[in-house]
């Protein structure tokens, strides 16, 4: 069945969901526990998480991972959640405990940031039964030891060099599941997929930007109504 013939159910109240760019559908996807994931929205805003057509959410943030945040996001989400559990500051036993908590709450995977030591990755891997995702920021990132320690998926976020970095690791690891940032437009998303990414992360407009757009619509509606009077 083609996309044009796939039935879609939508209500008037939910029609303004945050839709991910259409080219992401060209990605092969990664099947995790029977669920195929192509599009992953990058946000911790539960209002956006609750109103998107993305296949999953990657919930990482620039603070120490905290159980209350993980719990709140997973409870609000109606899509699978990849939860951040380790990074440059949060390491060792705390990260392992965070991984256990994330799994117990229903996370489909746990994410460790680039600076996470191999020992911490091993500690997380030893106690969870969900995929460990490691963020990669450059083609110079050393991932061999991390893969050996238990990393199942890499998440490439290399800015303007993302396409080149995806291609670099795909050539060296043909079977490795790769998530990557899609960049600013459809063209860069397609280039990232062509380079070898299996799934794409999408950063949505902020809540403030979305609200601004809606308020502009409301003002236009009020103007039209005033003109008709």
68-106 residue pLDDT tens: 999 999 999 999 999 999 987 889 999 999 999 999 999
Region 15-19: what's the mean pLDDT? 88
In the chain, pLDDT over 70 holds for what percent of residues?
Answer: 92
Q: Which pLDDT score, from 0 to 100, does residue 228 have?
A: 62
Mean pLDDT of 20-31: 97
Tell me the per-residue pLDDT of 5-14, one tens digit each, with 9 for 90 and over: 889 898 887 8
* Pick from 221, 216, 215, 185: nearest CA to 200: 185
Whole-number average pLDDT of the chain: 92
Domain edges within the chain? 15-228
- Three-state SS across the chain? CCHHHCCCCCCHHHCCCECCCHHHHHCCCEEECCEEECEEEECCCHHHHCCECCCEEEECCCCCCCHHHHHHHHHHCCCCEEEEEECCCCCHHHHHHHHHHHHHHCCCEEEECCCCCHHHHHHHHHHCCCCEEEEECCCCCCCHHHHHHCCCEEEECCHHHHHHHHHHHHHHCCCCCEEEECCCCHHHHHHHHHHCCCEEEECCCCHHHHHHHHHHHHHHHHHHHHHHC
Task: Say what the pLDDT of residue 89 is.
Answer: 81
The 10s digit of each residue's pLDDT in 119-144 is 999 999 999 999 999 999 999 999 99
pLDDT of amino acid 208:
79
Q: For residue range 194-226, list pLDDT tens digits in order.
A: 999 999 999 998 877 876 776 777 666 665 555
Q: What is the pLDDT of residue 84?
A: 97
pLDDT reported for residue 186 = 95
Q: Which two tokens stand for residue 32?
A: 């995790």
CATH class entry, domain 15-228: alpha beta
């Amino acid at each position: 069945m083609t996309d044009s013939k796939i039935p879609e159910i939508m209500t008037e109240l939910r029609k303004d969901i945050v839709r991910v760019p259409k080219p992401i559908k060209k990605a092969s996807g990664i099947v995790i526990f029977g669920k195929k994931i192509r599009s992953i929205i990058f946000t911790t805003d539960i209002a956006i998480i609750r109103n998107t057509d993305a296949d999953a959410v990657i919930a990482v943030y620039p603070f120490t991972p905290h159980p209350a945040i993980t719990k709140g996001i997973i409870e609000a989400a109606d899509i699978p959640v990849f939860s951040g559990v380790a990074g440059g500051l949060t390491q060792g036993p705390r990260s392992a405990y965070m991984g256990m908590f994330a799994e117990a709450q229903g996370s489909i995977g746990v994410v460790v940031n680039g600076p996470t030591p191999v020992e911490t990755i091993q500690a997380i891997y030893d106690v969870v039964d969900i995929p460990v995702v490691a963020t990669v920021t450059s083609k110079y990132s050393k991932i061999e030891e991390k893969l050996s320690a238990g990393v199942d998926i890499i998440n490439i976020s290399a800015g303007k060099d993302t396409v080149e970095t995806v291609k670099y690791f795909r050539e060296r690891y043909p079977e490795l599941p790769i998530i990557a940032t899609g960049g600013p437009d459809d063209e860069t998303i397609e280039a990232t997929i062509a380079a070898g990414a299996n799934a794409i992360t999408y950063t949505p407009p902020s809540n403030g930007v979305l609200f601004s757009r809606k308020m502009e619509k409301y003002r236009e509606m009020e103007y039209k109504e005033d003109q008709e009077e």
